[in-house]
Amino acid sequence: MDALSWGQILLKVALQFIPVWIALALTFGLSIAFKRRLGLYGKLYDSPVGMIGFALVMFWVFTAAFAPIIMTQDPLTQISGMKNILPGTPVRGVEGTWYLLGGDNLARDVFSRMVAGSTVVIQIAPMATLFAFMVGITLGLPAGYYGGALDTGLSFAANLILAFPVILLFYLLVTPEIVTSGLPQYLGMVLFLFPLIFLVVMINSRLYVKPPLRNALIAGVVIIGGWLYLSLLSSPGTKIDVLPPAIDVIEVPGNILIVFVSVVFVNAPTVFRIIRGLVLDIKSRDYVAASQTRGEGPWYIMLWEILPNARGPLIVDFCLRIGYTTILLGTLGFFGLGLSPESPDWGSTINAGRRLLSIYAHPAIVPAIALMSLVLGLNLLADGLREESLKD
């Protein structure tokens, strides 16, 4: 078989992505048809920039979802003779398959690894950002609302973390010596508690007038949330090993959990500062004074009066922060920290490819472009959302 020309490579790659194109077309078709009924999300379709951003983001989300169908090879299999091979070379001995975007220095398919890498990023980045937001909101609301010593203490702690150079922090948290000491897991124990606290306080402040309903809901949240919490943290053979394997449903590989924790830890202080600033601004509004006069509790005011009114800037920042988290994940991979060297995530593959960069560029370029397009999509989406939310 002959090697493919660039036109053929592009065509083949586009054909591999067919499920993604169909899903994208469906999403956009349905959303545009009903855009007047979809609120802020529907308004996104009035802004070309926002639409391009959303398309880029959804492209990678669907790629991550359909990764097993899109991949042409197994991302970990090495095929002899395909080392550093140029894009479009046919696989030896197998009719009708190619290394569409070439092979890396361990003779693995660059295209399939890039697709497999999207699953890692799409799974970790939004979740980590969400957790960082939960931590930031739960601490930022009282800091801004009460002020005083609480605010001074929390702000000092936040500034402390922010003054740390990120890479140094990663090196300190993710090195094997510190991982064996269990420190990242203890940190995770504290950080993962915040979503639970957030939910419980939110339900309690709203429904404390209806005790039976409140008790039922809180019991549900505590039992299900606590179970998820424990099964997320506990893994056999480490410092925290509390749940028997039979009910330990979520099995996160140890190093991914550590990466997750450190990314949440780095992001949370910034979110805290944003929330605190927003609360300081909003708490002087009339509707806050009205609910205070009405005799509402402080947490009701914080969670049900102030927080919903801060949603605009928060949604925009959420998009930007997912992009930033993606960059952080890439940085971790680039320095070979945390994730295993086999892992197909984009940072690690860039790191593996950069050694032979001046001779074989494709193993590093492909994941680099992928990462850039996802972050660009998120930034454009945030820009579009900001523009549309300012129009009201």
Contacting range for other proteins; rule: CB under 8 A; set: 108-116, 214-222, 258-266, 374-382: 374-382
Task: State which of positions 330-359 bind other proteins (CB under 8 A).
Answer: 330-331, 334-335, 347, 350, 353-354, 357-359
Residue 171 found at the interface with other proteins (CB under 8 A): yes
Question: How big is the chain, counted in residues?
Answer: 392
92's CB contacts (< 8 A; 6+ apart) are 79, 80, 81, 82
Q: How far is the CB of 308 from other proteins (least distance, A)?
A: 26
Q: Would you say 140 or 367 has its CB closer to other proteins?
A: 367
Q: In the chain, where does DSSP find H-type helix?
A: 6-16, 18-33, 39-43, 48-65, 67-70, 110-146, 148-162, 166-174, 176-180, 183-191, 193-207, 211-233, 254-282, 286-294, 298-300, 307-309, 311-334, 346-353, 362-390
For residues 34 to 53, the per-residue mask of contacts with other proteins, x marking binding by CB under 8 A and - elsewhere, is ---------------x----
Residue 360 found at the interface with other proteins (CB under 8 A): yes
Task: State which of positions 175-234 bind other proteins (CB under 8 A).
Answer: 175, 177-178, 180-181, 183
Residue 164 found at the interface with other proteins (CB under 8 A): yes
Residue 265 found at the interface with other proteins (CB under 8 A): no
Task: State which of positions 310-329 bind other proteins (CB under 8 A).
Answer: 323, 327
Q: How far is the CB of 314 from other proteins (least distance, A)?
A: 19
Buried/exposed 143-172: b ≥16 CB within 10 Å, e otherwise? bbbeeeeebeebbeebeebeeeeeeeebee
C-alpha–C-alpha distance, residues 89 and 83, integer Å: 11
Query: Any long-range contacts for 236-245 (C-beta under 8 Å, 24+ apart)?
Result: 238/182, 238/185, 239/181, 239/182, 239/185, 239/186, 240/182, 240/185, 240/186, 240/189
Using CB under 8 A, pick the residue from 149, 168, 247, 390 that binds other proteins: 168
Q: Would you say 141 or 273 has its CB closer to other proteins?
A: 273
Contacting range for other proteins; rule: CB under 8 A; set: 131-139, 223-231, 284-292, 366-374: 366-374
Residue 255 found at the interface with other proteins (CB under 8 A): no
Using CB under 8 A, pick the residue from 348, 371, 385, 388 that binds other proteins: 371
For residue 103, with 0-12 CB atoms within 10 Å meaning exposed, 13-18 middle and 19 or more buried, which class applies? buried
Residue 237 found at the interface with other proteins (CB under 8 A): no
Residue 160 found at the interface with other proteins (CB under 8 A): yes
C-alpha–C-alpha distance, residues 353 and 84, integer Å: 10
Are 108 and 78 in contact by the 8 Å Cβ rule? The answer is yes
Number of Cβ atoms within 10 Å of the Cβ of 258: 24
Residue count at the site for other proteins (CB under 8 A)?
46
In the complex, the residues that contact other proteins under the rule CB under 8 A are: 49, 156, 159-160, 163-168, 171-172, 175, 177-178, 180-181, 183, 323, 327, 330-331, 334-335, 347, 350, 353-354, 357-362, 364-365, 368-369, 371-372, 375-376, 378-380, 383
